[in-house]
Chains A and B, each alone.
Chain A
């Protein structure tokens, strides 16, 4: 089995990752989303586990959330109600969008099996008072993680964790950097699956695998690389189907600005004497999420990626009712379109209605 196959195989049964970890008698903390510092959880000797959704239709959650809450959040809650996350020793959410805030409410009110914690990150970046506020919040969070795990978090252990995660981010970035080539070594769908697997696994294993993988694909070339080069962006995508759809229609997905991909690994922490401070700065000096202010920076980030990866067209996949990205795409669209065509699509997280999507993606790619 190639390393690529091995990594992608992880996604068939992501719980296995957890079971292996738990078998060592250690705890697992679920989290959503990028603004939860995995390093702090890891430094307390617990496994941070990204709770991803499934494309299943929503059932019980519909009685709790109104159908106008983002489907991703309803899906996670549905799985929670069903006990599918009972293996977690805690769930940590960060303050991003209205939907996640309500997820915190609902979870605390209706799911007893897994305690839920909300990390109150500011939504303002590059702002000293925001750093200060966030530092307070992070100290509280650190304490909670220490209590939950029974392990003290020392500066040294935190520093080690940061280095470990930085290494993951660096390797993922290096791997994905190869997609700048005229003929990328991996397809967009493969790239997404690798990132998702890397995010789910314990980083000690991830890093070793990624090293092998980079070596393995260095000389590889995907088959159909003649089509227009596409960047996908938007809300969370936790399933390669949509990317596959674009590639089936002849697009070459070279960059994926998603929480399960580029947004996760594009930035690394900056050198800092104080590891807690390093985390504060890391989260409040990287512009990856539409929830944060100011947004100009995020626009620049998109431009950077468009340039580096020679992107011909941009597709926004906005999960239905995902307000942050619905706003972002409407606001950025005009500016982006001055140079690069944009297709903004609303998608069902449960991936129904793919037929209609296909037609629109096809028309877009033909136009390019």
Chain B
């Protein structure tokens, strides 16, 4: 059942509007590069973007394109195309959508602005192993070579042993060589070191941005935050990313000083866990009628937002990137994730956690219960969990989603009154 009640989220910051423009410009650049005969890469997941930026590579990111398609409510169509290709509904909707875009015989004009066939593919199994599988199909379909980056899962917590770093760093080296062999020129190590140092800066800025967001009332909710996370996820290792974050930080600091919040009278602060409905970000604004703000969402932390960058050493670029990827909160063993969310709930003064289950995701739903229990034990903060596919609009049911939010928030308010 599709509902026609979807609305875009209401953003309130100037810098996030700028970031949106940067996203458009980025993909516009990919199209131009293709026309100029430069190789186009498809990649995905936690493949360190720094190595791409250091090679001046033009990359389409498999989880990002569906987001853009999804925000225009177009994902349903392409997902359908993939299903007709034999991909069951259990397969991640992002990957179904992307595969649909890849194999569709016709693409609508919006998608056509961004979509470019690959010359080769860089695949990985981090965060979720299924995804490396979807690449095989794409590589077959386009008959292009691919390189596979195998990420060890993090069974160690924060202390990653040297042999694991060495293994992962070795594969990054392999990726660089592979890119060289496929038309991207020789590896410029100075540039890579520069990228790592910019990446470090970027994360430090993000950490400061987070500090601002902990203020009551919060100057930026997750509707803006998800756009704001774009540089963190896609632009680490670039000056552009750093510049955007510097501006954002400035804007937020001003707001905090003036005591301006998304809502001036915040009654409840919420954390979103799982994939938000990209086709209907207005749902996150829906809770405002209760004086509630979704302050933060877990996916804003993917790709390094949740870790202490002091360990990054530009002189050891590959090892630094390896560490960053291996300790990521979504490198599936839950210890880092659970600990991190625990802290987030405290630092951000969260009153309740909204956990949404995207049934076609092999990764995130598995964290729900451990996170719920840890947060409750630690801070007495409750979590509600319900089904919501953030990308496949066909699965969306507005009434049920709102009923879940209403019930949860009323219960929260009732317990606050006690």
Contact = CB atoms under 8 A, between A and B. Distances in A.
Direct contact of A and B (CB under 8 A): yes
B191 interface: no
B221 interface: no
Given A98-B128, A101-B153, A320-B90, A327 B167 contact: no
Interface stretch (B14-22, B313-321, B359-367): B359-367
A323 interface: yes
A331 B137 contact: yes
B129 A323 contact: yes
Centre residue among B91, B125, B362 by max chain A CB count within 10 A: B362
A166 interface: no
B133 A327 contact: yes
B125 A123 contact: yes
Contact of A98 (B140, B163, B363): B363
Interface stretch (B5-13, B80-88, B400-408): B80-88
Nearest to B95: A327
B357 interface: yes
B332 A98 contact: yes
Interface in A310-368: 318, 320-324, 326-331, 333, 344, 346
Contacts of B128: 98
Interface in A50-65: 63-65
A324 B131 CA distance: 9
Contact of B366 (A66, A127, A293, A331): A66
A111 to B, nearest CB: 13
Interface residues of A, number: 49
Contact of B369 (A64, A95, A129): A64
Interface string B340-366: 000000000000000001011111011
B359 A123 contact: no
B123 to A, nearest CB: 8
Centre residue among A64, A109, A323 by max chain B CB count within 10 A: A323
B134 interface: yes
Contacts of B92: 323
A122 B150 CA distance: 7
A260 B365 CA distance: 28
Centre residue among B129, B170, B361 by max chain A CB count within 10 A: B129
Contact of B90 (A68, A105, A109, A120): A68
B384 interface: no
Contacts of B153: 95, 101, 118, 120
Contacts of B137: 327, 330-331
B333 A105 contact: yes
A69 B366 contact: yes
Interface in A268-311: 290-291, 293-295
Contact of A120 (B134, B152, B361): B152
B338 to A, nearest CB: 8
A330 B85 CA distance: 8
Interface in B204-226: none
Given A95-B153, A120-B153, A323-B133, A101 B333 contact: yes
A81 interface: no
Interface string A171-210: 0000000000000000000000000000000000000000
B164 interface: yes
B370 interface: yes
A67 interface: yes
Nearest to A67: B359
B332 A323 contact: no
A142 to B, nearest CB: 15
A309 B408 CA distance: 58
Nearest to A322: B90
A124 B148 contact: yes
Contacts of A99: 362, 366
B334 interface: yes
A294 B148 contact: yes
B294 interface: no
B155 interface: yes
Interface in A90-112: 95-99, 101-102, 104-106, 109
A136 interface: yes
A97 B366 CA distance: 12
A331 B129 CA distance: 15
A323 B163 contact: no
Contacts of B385: 66
Given A68-B360, A136-B161, A331 B133 contact: yes
A132 interface: yes
B130 A130 contact: no
Nearest to A104: B333
B370 A66 contact: no
A95 B156 CA distance: 14
B91 A133 contact: no
Contacts of B357: 66, 68
Nearest to B334: A105
Given A64-B369, A124-B150, A346-B88, A327 B134 contact: yes
A66 B373 CA distance: 14
A123 B128 CA distance: 12
Nearest to A105: B334
A283 B176 CA distance: 27
B73 interface: no
B51 interface: no
Contact of B91 (A96, A122, A127, A323): A323
B170 A129 contact: yes
B14 to A, nearest CB: 38
A330 B82 CA distance: 10
B362 A98 contact: yes
A101 B128 CA distance: 10
B387 to A, nearest CB: 8
B192 interface: no
Given A327-B91, A330-B137, A133 B366 contact: no
A331 B136 contact: yes
Interface string A236-249: 00000000000000
A102 B85 CA distance: 29
B369 A65 contact: yes
B365 A68 contact: yes
Nearest to A65: B366
B185 to A, nearest CB: 24
A91 to B, nearest CB: 14
B171 interface: yes
A65 B357 CA distance: 11
11 contacts: A66-B365, A101-B332, A101-B333, A120-B153, A120-B155, A132-B167, A291-B129, A322-B90, A323-B130, A327-B134, A330-B88
Which A-B residue pairs are the 9 nearest by beta carbons?
A102-B366, A327-B133, A98-B362, A323-B130, A66-B365, A133-B167, A68-B359, A124-B150, A105-B334
Given A65-B366, A68-B365, A324-B130, 9 more contacts: A64-B369, A68-B90, A97-B130, A98-B362, A102-B366, A118-B333, A295-B133, A326-B90, A331-B140
